[in-house]
């Protein structure tokens, strides 16, 4: 298996399907049929005779509206964009996926970055980050998930069961199965136990796997949290190019207590069905509500003019939907001293981040590739604890966690924990950000990291450090540019 974080990213960041491997188990059971569970099931379809996906939200199993937000994924009505690495992974596991999504109405940015606006503090419009070889893929969340579900369930050996997982069973030093209550039943006597060679926890950030481990006499994974107290409010509008030529915009205001300005994020994206989805978000007590007047006022007053233009001149075609996320959270399975065999976890069940960085779904797809790498690695036995898998997932989690929590340490209501060397790293990140506006090499490197196509270590390569310091020195010598 790869020996360094950068190497792992290089190895799995390919659209080419992996080779080798083969069927090594009878039945795998995946708990949760959302992005992480579906991706894990896709990978396992190559290694298990049968894959059973158990999803408590029956609307995915009984022919409910495939493209509508569903109760099991309450964040699904909010703005969701898939980063470049996520698009690459979907292409890896489902060849032709991006073209199919685009044919169905999903949007990829124009390669020259035009019509994509980016605003920073004080509503200053700056050049959008350079286009990627793997650009962001934009649609509503249910649209994307429905495509992934259809592709995953197309495998003959993957079966979706509507039911609520209630626990896992153990046999000696391993997990031996799952207890679940089929949909429509409510008595303990209705519970079914299904045996499994491998169980995947993909039940999202509220997963109760830790309780189940403790109840079975094992340890819970240690949990790390960073409080963010972020509230999203989102509504849909009819796309109207007469209002603005921009298809997408992001506005990021960092807090300036002296000027009375709180940290705020807003954005809009063009999604399938010729609609704009527009988001306004606030931190701490600055909480947008479901009240339409409050939402429209925020669009007009708290964000650049184009947000107000859409709010006032485009037709609003949905109610305002809100979502509150209290913290970024990770469960460090890799740190467990005792871990039963036959168990892995993926997606938000392992780590979920401040959603403004758009890392969650992409992380789930990368975890799937980690699962594949582990299962295909020489010496892997599903009879042993999946330490090799959790070590790989840790690299992906660390990368996303570093980017999101480092930026969130700047929020006034976040007070640590500060990593070693925080001040120096913060200064250097500020320098790189300033240089990225004019230097294409630095901008491209930055963009690959925020798209999760490369590990953040890529910013610390000597060549890039020297280039940055040299450019910075030139910039300082020149002094501030005249207006």
Ligand X SMILES: Cc1cc2nc3c(=O)[nH]c(=O)nc-3n(C[C@H](O)[C@H](O)[C@H](O)COP(=O)(O)OP(=O)(O)OC[C@H]3O[C@@H](n4cnc5c(N)ncnc54)[C@H](O)[C@@H]3O)c2cc1C
Contacting positions for ligand X (CB under 6 A): 31-37, 54-57, 72-73, 75, 78-82, 164-165, 202-204, 232, 323, 325, 347-349, 352, 355, 358-362, 364
CB of 355 to ligand X, least distance (A): 3
CB of 231 to ligand X, least distance (A): 9
Nearer to ligand X, 30 or 442 (CB): 30
Residues whose CB falls within 8 Å of the CB of residue 436, separated by 6 or more in sequence, listed in order: 129, 442, 443, 446
Nearer to ligand X, 89 or 373 (CB): 89
Alpha helix segments (H runs only) across 237-351: 292-301, 305-313
Nearer to ligand X, 234 or 373 (CB): 234
Question: What percent helix, strand, coil does the chain show, rounded to 5?
Answer: 40, 25, 35
CB of 364 to ligand X, least distance (A): 5
Nearer to ligand X, 163 or 468 (CB): 163
For residue 269, what are the β-bridge partners? 277
The secondary structure of residue 228, as a DSSP letter, is E
Residue 443 has, within 13 A of its CA and on its CB side, a CA count of 15
What's the distance, CA 117 to chain centroid? Answer: 22
For residue 51, what are the β-bridge partners? 28, 158
**CA gap 417, 99 in Å, rounded:** 42
**CA gap 91, 270 in Å, rounded:** 21
CB of 396 to ligand X, least distance (A): 12
> What count of residues does the chain have?
483
Alpha helix segments (H runs only) across 20-115: 35-44, 84-93, 97-103
Residues whose CB falls within 8 Å of the CB of residue 464, separated by 6 or more in sequence, listed in order: 441, 442, 445, 458
CB of 87 to ligand X, least distance (A): 11
Nearer to ligand X, 342 or 355 (CB): 355
Nearer to ligand X, 362 or 372 (CB): 362
CB of 305 to ligand X, least distance (A): 24
CB of 344 to ligand X, least distance (A): 13
Nearer to ligand X, 32 or 340 (CB): 32
Residue nearest ligand X, CB atom distance: 360
CB of 354 to ligand X, least distance (A): 9
Residue 434 main-chain phi, psi, to 5 deg: -65, -40
Nearer to ligand X, 31 or 101 (CB): 31
Nearer to ligand X, 268 or 435 (CB): 268
The secondary structure of residue 23, as a DSSP letter, is -
Nearer to ligand X, 88 or 471 (CB): 88
CB of 311 to ligand X, least distance (A): 20
CB of 323 to ligand X, least distance (A): 4
Query: Do 165 and 178 form a contact (C-beta atoms < 8 A)?
Result: yes
Report the chain's C-alpha Rg in angstroms: 23
Burial of 428 (0-12, 13-18, 19+ CB in 10 A): middle
Residue 267 main-chain phi, psi, to 5 deg: -170, 160
Nearer to ligand X, 234 or 244 (CB): 234
**CA gap 226, 63 in Å, rounded:** 38
Intra-chain end-to-end CA distance of the chain, in Å: 53
Residues whose CB falls within 8 Å of the CB of residue 185, separated by 6 or more in sequence, listed in order: none
CB of 461 to ligand X, least distance (A): 27
Residue 16 main-chain phi, psi, to 5 deg: -75, 130
**CA gap 309, 232 in Å, rounded:** 20
């Amino acid at each position: 298996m790869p020996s360094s974080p950068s190497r792992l990213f290089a190895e799995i960041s390919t659209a080419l399907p992996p080779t080798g491997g083969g069927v090594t188990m009878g039945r795998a059971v995946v708990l949760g049929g959302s992005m992480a569970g579906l991706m894990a099931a896709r990978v396992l379809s190559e290694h298990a005779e049968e894959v059973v996906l158990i999803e408590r939200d029956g609307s995915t199993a009984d022919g409910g509206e495939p493209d509508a937000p569903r109760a099991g994924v309450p964040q699904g009505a909010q703005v969701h964009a898939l980063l470049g690495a996520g698009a690459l992974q979907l292409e890896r596991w489902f060849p032709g996926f991006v073209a199919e999504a685009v044919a169905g109405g999903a949007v990829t940015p124009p390669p020259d970055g035009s019509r994509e606006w980016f605003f920073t503090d004080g509503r200053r419009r700056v050049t959008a980050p350079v286009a990627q070889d793997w650009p962001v893929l934009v649609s509503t969340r249910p649209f994307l998930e429905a495509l992934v579900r259809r592709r995953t369930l197309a495998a003959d050996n993957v079966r979706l069961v509507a039911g609520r997982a209630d626990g896992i069973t153990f046999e000696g030093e391993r997990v031996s199965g799952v207890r679940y209550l089929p949909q429509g039943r409510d008595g303990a006597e209705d519970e079914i136990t299904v045996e499994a060679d491998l169980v995947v926890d993909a039940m999202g950030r509220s997963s109760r796997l830790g309780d189940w481990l403790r109840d079975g006499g094992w340890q819970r994974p240690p949990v790390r949290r960073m409080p963010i107290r972020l509230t999203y409010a989102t509504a849909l509008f009819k796309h109207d190019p007469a209002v603005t030529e921009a298809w997408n915009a992001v506005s990021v205001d960092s807090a300036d207590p002296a000027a009375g300005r709180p940290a705020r994020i807003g954005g809009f994206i063009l999604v399938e069905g010729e609609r704009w989805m527009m988001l306004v978000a606030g931190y701490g007590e600055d909480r947008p509500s479901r009240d339409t007047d409050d939402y429209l006022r925020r669009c007009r007053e708290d964000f650049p003019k184009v947000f107000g233009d859409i709010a006032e001149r485009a037709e609003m075609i949905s109610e305002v939907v809100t979502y509150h996320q209290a913290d970024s959270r990770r469960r460090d399975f890799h740190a467990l001293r005792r871990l039963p065999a036959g168990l892995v976890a993926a997606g938000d069940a392992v780590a979920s981040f401040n959603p403004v960085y758009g890392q969650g779904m992409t992380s789930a797809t990368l975890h799937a590739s980690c699962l594949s790498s582990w299962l295909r690695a020489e010496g892997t036995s599903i009879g042993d604890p999946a330490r090799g898998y959790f070590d790989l997932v840790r690299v992906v989690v660390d990368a996303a966690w570093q980017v999101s929590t480092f930026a969130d340490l700047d929020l006034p209501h976040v007070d640590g924990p500060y990593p070693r060397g925080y001040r120096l790293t913060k200064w250097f990140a500020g320098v790189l950000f300033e240089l990225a506006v004019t230097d294409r090499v630095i901008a491209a490197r930055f963009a690959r990291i925020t798209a999760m196509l490369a590990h953040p270590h890529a910013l610390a390569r000597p060549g890039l450090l020297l280039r940055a310091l040299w450019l910075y020195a030139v910039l300082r010598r020149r002094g501030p540019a005249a207006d």
